[in-house]
């Protein structure tokens, strides 16, 4: 039984787990420390002999996720040194017979602020076995380390540049793991979906991708304006008492990473607004990875020829508002302030008229689900399918039988069903008790995803047609 694979930087040895061999913690770039902090990813120097890749690498430095109340608590496991790693899950037969399997490269969410491709939430073992395909998950820099905008020191969408480096690593190395570099679907959830679409549209990476899997992308969040990003960077430097200009790079690289995290938390508090889910730093328009807004690129046909599977959960925004007493106790007058803007306020009035028994909190949450997630999802699907491209749209409607927080099918709720990693969500309110019903739904949902990745088609699921809601598939 083969458990080794050769990469451009050295040989790695993984761990056999049933039908799958898992290679965890493979470096795809050098450690972003010292002079490489706030710098584009650089090639890893490599190693001699066989590197044991039996454990995931550390997460990128980060604070606790704001979604822990929904998804469950994570014990901090970050370390700046050695954090730029990826994980490959491949069928044993793909290593033994050296044949090529389709590849899914999947990026985690977390608001460009938290998460790790190495967490057991996203273990690709089950998915790789189910689809007889290769699954890759990866870390990328987050928060200020990934999205501080200081072009003068080389800091521009570094998280997006990390993701591009992952795709180039896959192109150069995945064949050794039984993967087909000519059949690569890029996917992700939330911020990961946002990133996946950017990678599929960017001329620097689009040629490495044949399909896109976009789960709960926050399409209502436009890329950050460079001037706004520069102003936020200036605020961040002030919090750190670091001078602006080229000299800031040396000062930032000398600070303890914990100090950078604390200042980012302070910055987030300063920019917190009721109803606003945007982090203070996220992909900047015109910087590497985001040469144009997704809407403009899509309209100009930059996604043409690629298969697309896109969807949302039914109640996305409850993850952000369900535990916020300011939203839960909001009045109708206060709700109008949250959904500021004439069009959004008209939408509020329409929702209220259609659902006279709904609380202001519920109406706000439904509007934000549509404005931030669902409307953009359907806009992307309508345009892509109108061009004759294979397009599939889903909505994940499952909610736990005991739903004391009224989360419904909230943001992230489909993730344990996709990866089959129920045991990793031991204290997750979004999941509840797991039994035969949940495992059956998981197999149905995950099988549909794997069929898309491997064949660009899904049996018994008609491709989406523009403005045809009957072609949306619901999972409950």
> CA 229, CA 401: separation in Å to the nearest integer?
43
Catalytic choice (44, 108, 126, 411): 411
* Residue that is written with structure tokens 């004759």 in the block: 388
Contacts of 149 (CB under 8 A, 6+ apart): 155, 156, 157, 224, 226, 229, 230, 232, 233, 281, 284, 287
Rounded CA Rg of the chain? 22
Q: What is the DSSP letter of 357?
A: T
Give catalytic status of residue 385 as yes or no.
no
The one catalytic residue among 31, 114, 116, 190: 190
Q: Which of 80, 156, 316, 368 is catalytic?
A: 316
Residue 65 catalytic? no
Tokens 């996917």, residue located: 187
Q: Which two tokens stand for residue 118?
A: 């190495």
CA 303 to chain centre: 19
Compute CA distances 46 → 2, 9, 30, 49, 432, whole Å: 22, 4, 9, 10, 44
Q: Is 190 part of the annotated catalytic residue set?
A: yes
Measured CA to CA in angstroms, residue 352 lies from 90, 116, 327, 343, 358 at distances of 50, 39, 16, 14, 7
The CA distances from residue 325 to 70, 138, 361, 415, in Å, are 15, 35, 10, 26
Q: Which residues are catalytic?
A: 190, 316, 411
């Amino acid at each position: 039984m083969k458990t080794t694979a050769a990469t451009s930087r050295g040989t790695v040895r993984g761990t056999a787990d049933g039908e799958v061999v898992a290679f965890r913690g493979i470096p795809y770039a050098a450690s972003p420390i010292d002079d490489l902090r706030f710098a584009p990813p650089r090639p890893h120097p490599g190693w001699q002999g066989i590197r044991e890749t039996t454990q995931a690498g550390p997460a990128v430095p980060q604070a606790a996720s704001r979604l822990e109340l929904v998804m469950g608590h994570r014990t901090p496991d970050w370390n700046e040194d050695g954090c730029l790693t990826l994980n490959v899950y491949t069928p044993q037969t793909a290593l033994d017979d050296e044949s090529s399997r389709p590849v899914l490269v999947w990026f985690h969410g977390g608001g460009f602020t938290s998460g790790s491709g190495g967490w057991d939430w996203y273990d690709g073992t089950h998915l790789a076995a189910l689809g007889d395909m290769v699954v890759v998950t990866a870390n990328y820099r987050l928060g200020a380390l990934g999205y501080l905008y200081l072009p003068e020191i080389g800091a521009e969408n570094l998280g997006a540049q990390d993701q591009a480096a992952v795709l180039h690593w896959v192109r150069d190395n995945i064949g050794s793991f039984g993967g087909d570099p000519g059949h690569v679907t890029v996917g992700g959830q939330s911020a990961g979906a946002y990133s996946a679409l950017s990678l599929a549209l960017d001329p620097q990476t689009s040629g490495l991708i044949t399909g896109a899997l976009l789960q709960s992308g926050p399409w209502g969040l436009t890329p950050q304006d460079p001037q706004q990003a520069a102003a936020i960077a200036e605020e961040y430097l002030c919090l750190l008492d670091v001078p602006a200009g080229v000299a800031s790079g040396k000062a930032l690289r000398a600070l303890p990473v914990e100090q950078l995290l604390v200042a980012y938390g302070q910055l987030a508090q300063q920019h917190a607004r009721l109803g606003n889910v945007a982090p203070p730093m996220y992909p900047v328009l015109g910087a590497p990875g985001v040469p144009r807004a997704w809407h403009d690129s899509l309209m100009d046909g930059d996604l043409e020829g690629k298969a697309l599977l896109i969807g949302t959960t039914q109640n996305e925004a409850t993850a952000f508002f369900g535990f916020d007493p300011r939203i839960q106790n909001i009045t109708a007058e206060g709700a109008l302030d949250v959904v500021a803007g004439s069009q959004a306020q008209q939408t509020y009035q329409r929702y209220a008229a259609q659902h006279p028994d709904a609380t202001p909190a519920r109406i706000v949450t439904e509007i934000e689900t549509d404005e931030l997630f669902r409307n953009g999802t359907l806009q992307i699907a309508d345009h892509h399918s109108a061009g004759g491209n294979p397009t599939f749209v889903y909505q994940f409607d499952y909610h736990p039988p005991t739903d004391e927080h009224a989360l419904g099918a909230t943001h992230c709720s489909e993730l344990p069903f996709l990866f089959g990693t129920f045991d990793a969500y031991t204290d997750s309110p979004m999941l509840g008790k797991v039994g035969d019903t949940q495992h059956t739904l998981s197999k149905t949902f995950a099988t549909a995803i794997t069929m898309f990745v491997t064949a660009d088609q899904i049996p018994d699921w008609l491709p989406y047609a523009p403005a045809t809601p009957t072609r949306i598939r619901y999972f409950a």
